[in-house]
Amino acid sequence: MSDLPPCPQCQSPYTYQDGLLLVCPECAHEWSPGETGEEEDALVVHDANGNRLQDGDSVVLIKDLKVKGSSTTLKIGTKVSNIRLCEGDHDIDCKVPGVGAMKLKSEFVKKA
């Protein structure tokens, strides 16, 4: 039998080697032998200064932001704790003190 690892996406044992890549015939996934597949699926978000953000980080607003549908404004320097990263245009999901739950763009925050 083959000593090749199963497919990281569908766990199929029928993987084969094609040049430098491993290929799964069932789901057509291709990957390098040393690759686990988790790195390419991870969401990478950077703040305004280029620092990498992770779930649970604290960030500070670097610009006054108007809240859509409301007359309130989030002031510069507002600290937001325990953020969650999500996909899309607004890639930070958080609870802003005094305002509530909302989504922010990472280009308007810096890591605290």
pLDDT band for position 9 (cuts 50, 70, 90): confident
- Cα angle value 92/37/47 (rounded, 5°): 25
**How far is CA 35 from each of CA 7, 78, 103, rounded to the nearest angstrom?**
11, 40, 32
pLDDT band for position 97 (cuts 50, 70, 90): very high
Give the pLDDT mean for 5-34.
87
**How far is CA 36 from each of CA 3, 15, 18, 44, 55, rounded to the nearest angstrom?**
16, 14, 17, 17, 21
DSSP 8-class letter at 51:
P
Least confident range of 41-45, 53-57, 79-83, 107-111: 41-45
pLDDT band for position 41 (cuts 50, 70, 90): low
pLDDT of residue 3: 83
pLDDT of residue 35: 66
pLDDT at 102 over 90: yes
Q: How far apart are CA 49 and CA 110, in angstroms?
A: 6
pLDDT at 92 over 90: yes
